[in-house]
Structure 1
C-alpha cells in the first residue's frame, strides 16, 4: 500500500473512532465490518477507501475533519478549522443566511476600518481580517448550500 493510502486509512480510523463505531454505522449505513475494511492495513483491503459521502456524514458529526485534513495535507494545502462550524443550525434557510451575511460583512468592514486607521495593516491585523473573511466565506457557502438544497 502506498504511504498516502496508509495515511488516509489511519485518518479514516481516527474519524470512525471519533464518532464512535456504532454511531458511524448508523450515519453511514455501513456495517462494522465494512467500516473496518476502510481503515484496515491488510493487503486484501489495500484498495478499499471510505466513500466521500460517508466521510462527509461522519465529519459532520466528528470533533475534527480527520480525512479532509489528511487529504489537504497530502496535497500541500492548509485548512482553517473553526469550532463554530455553521453560522446557524442550518434550519433558517436563505433568509437567515442573508442576515448572517450582512452581519459578517459589517464585522469585516469594522475590522478593516480599525486596521487601516494608521495607514498600515500589521500582521496581527491581517490575521484578524483573514479570520473575518473566512467567516464571511462560510456564510456564502451556507447560502449556496441552501439554494442548491431548495430550502429557501
Structure 2
C-alpha cells in the first residue's frame, strides 16, 4: 500500500507543478502548505491525499491528467487523452506521428543514457524521464486517434 501512496503522491506533485502552485491554490481553495502536504513523503503526511474534487479541478486546468492517469495505470487501464473531435485540428497524420514517435523515443533514450551514466538515477533524472515518458505517451495517443480517424 505504501508504494501506491508514494506513486500517487508523485503524480499529485506533477499535477500541481503542471498547473502552477499559485493557480493550484486558487483553483482548489487550498494553501501552498496544504497542497504540499498532499504530495509530501514525510511520515506525518503519508496518509494525506488530495481530495478528488480538487484533483478534478486541477486536471481540468492541466496539460495532462496526471492523477487520473496514475490511477488508471494502477488498475492496468489505458486512457485516451482528449477526444477525436478536439484533436481533429492536429497537423499531419500517421506519418507525422511516426516521425514524432521516433523523435520522442530518441529523447527518452538520451535522457535514460544520461541518467544511468553514474549508475544511479536521481530524483531529478527520474522526473525528466517521467516527463519524456508522458510526452511519448501523448504522441502515441495522437497516433491512435489518427489511426481511428483513418479507419472510419
TM class by shorter-chain length? Answer: 0.5 to 0.7
* Cross-structure match for 1:33: 33
Aligned to 1:59: 59
Determine which structure has more spread, i.e. the larger CA radius of gyration: 1
The change in CA–CA distance for 1:66 and 1:42 in structure 2 (over 3 A counts) is same
* Residue ranges of structure 1 left out of the alignment (5+ in a row): 88-123, 133-152
Distance in 2 between the 1:9 and 1:84 partners? 30
> Relative to structure 1, is the Cα distance of residues 129 and 49 closer, same or farther in structure 2, using a 3 angstrom cutoff?
same
Q: 1:84 Cα shift?
A: 7.5
The separation in 2 between residues aligned to 1:85 and 1:19, in whole angstroms, is 24
Assess, with a 3 A threshold, how the Cα gap between structure 1 residues 63 and 85 changes in structure 2: closer, same or farther: farther
Give the count of matched residue pairs: 95
Q: Could you tell me how far apart the structure 2 residues matched to 1:22 and 1:81 are?
A: 25
Distance in 1 between the 2:28 and 2:21 partners?
10
Task: Kindly state the Cα deviation for residue 57 of structure 1 after the two structures are TM-superposed.
Answer: 0.2
Residues in 2 aligned to 1:129 and 1:13: alpha-carbon distance in whole angstroms: 34
TM-score using structure 2 length: 0.56
Q: Distance in 2 between matches of 1:51 and 1:131?
A: 40
TM-score normalized by structure 1?
0.56
Matches within 5 A, 1:1-80: 2-80=2-80
CA distance in 2, matches of 1:68, 1:10: 12
* Structure 1 residue 79, shift from structure 2 partner: 0.3
- Could you tell me how far apart the structure 1 residues matched to 2:50 and 2:28 are? 10
Query: For the structure 1 residues 86 and 29, does the alpha-carbon distance in structure 2 shift closer, same or farther, using more than 3 Å as the test?
Result: farther
SS at match of 2:30: coil
Q: What is the alpha-carbon root mean square deviation over aligned residues?
A: 2.8
Q: Separation in 1 of the partners of 2:57 and 2:42?
A: 25
Match of 1:128 in 2: 148
